[in-house]
Amino acid sequence: MEMIIFIAAPTVFAVLIYGVKDYHCRDKRKSKITDQIVRDRYHNLC
């Protein structure tokens, strides 16, 4: 059990750091295009 925690804790921590870093370093142009696609898609559903 300790071995699972010893391996899982740093892995989860690394994934969280990568996710936060990746979110803050998004490509602005690609993000605008993606946001527009999502807006158009969900606006048409309502």
Q: For residue 28, what are the domain limits?
A: 2-45
**pLDDT of 24 over the 70 cut:** no
26: left (phi over 0), alpha (psi -120 to 50) or beta: beta
**pLDDT of 15 over the 90 cut:** yes
The number of distinct structural domains making up the chain is 1
DSSP for 2-45 reads HHHHHHHHHHHHHHHHHHHHHHHT--HHHHHHHHHHHHHHHHHH
Q: Taking residues 11-39, report their average pLDDT.
A: 83
E strands, the chain, where?
none
